[in-house]
Structure 1
């Protein structure tokens, strides 16, 4: 089946290096949780994030929320013709199982993924819905072993969603950045078979996912 990877995604719990910052301590008290159980979010932790590595790619779990909502509420997912992975900025991989209903409310999504980071898996009636493990992007691609790895970025070769969709088969892997600014790291790009751009204007990840998967659906359902 088609694989979708949201790469270098902006979702993680608050790192140890930020635990003593006043904004983090204040947020801990507000939520009644330890910093290590709270998602890093620049809406709350902007001041604490100043100067951290890959700052512009971090602290936007809402982007991940939008993106996986798009990918899990379409016929392609309902009919089990796509496998979805979230590769995080600090080399963890979240696998999304079959028939997972991602909460539409961000507050519930946040709670679910904080629980996932803490417990490493979410199961219902012995069905594993979500799991997380330490894994690099390269290791994930090797595990999937796709026929091709297609990245989408403004730095790629100009094409269109429709044209790209015709090059994909059910062993292909599509990679979209799960961050708000910047470009893929070299370690990510080195695994691409092809790198395409769908326009000079940078689109948010959830928009790219919606349009790309719709065009791919047309090639297999219509």
Structure 2
């Protein structure tokens, strides 16, 4: 089974240093929650986020949602040929149970992730659907123990989706950025066996996920 990781994903609760900002408090009140219980979202918390560490890589849970949908609504996932992990910017890892589907509505998705952060595990009929743990990227790689880790970045060696897909074998790990702008941290990059660029332009992460998985899917089912 090929492992898929969205690394340094912009999916986190409002950090403690921002929870008293007026924009955060106002948004939390609308949701009927404490400011420490809601996702950091640049759409609502732009003023609060100005100048924070890694500002351009944070506060875009909607983009993470897009990538998750691209990875979990395809035959590869439905036939258990891939396993998805979400590594967050604040070093947590979200695990998916078998054939778990997140809500297509962003608002319901945000509510689900906020509940997950609070309860640590989402279950149904005694089956674990989602679970979140404190874990670094390197610890996750050690746990998966793939034979090769392939990262996708504009800093990588130029290659095509088709060529990369043709070389993938069952215990590889593919790593995509779960953030809007910027590059992987050095601590992430050093875990890569190989890093590829798949175009002359910078594409949004969910686009790269969709195209790469489609090409790999063709090698499996076509």
How far apart are 1:200 and its partner, in Å?
A: 1.8
Matching residue of 2:122: 122
Asked whether the equivalents of residues 20 and 35 of structure 2 are also in contact (C-alpha less than 8 Å), the reply is no
Question: Residues 150-199 of structure 1: CA distance to partner in whole angstroms, max 9, x if unpaired?
Answer: 00001100001000011110100000000000000000000000000001
Matching residue of 2:160: 160
CA distance in 2, matches of 1:129, 1:81: 18
How far apart are 1:128 and its partner, in Å?
A: 0.7
Matches within 5 A, 1:1-222: 1-222=1-222
SS at match of 1:8: strand
Instruction: Please give the TM-score of this superposition, normalised by the length of structure 1.
Output: 0.99
Unaligned regions of 5+ residues in structure 2, if any? Answer: none
Unaligned regions of 5+ residues in structure 1, if any? Answer: none
Instruction: Please give the TM-score of this superposition, normalised by the length of structure 2.
Output: 0.99
Asked whether the equivalents of residues 6 and 175 of structure 2 are also in contact (C-alpha less than 8 Å), the reply is yes
Aligned residues: 222
Regions of 4+ moved over 3 Å:
none
Query: CA RMSD for the aligned pairs?
Result: 0.7
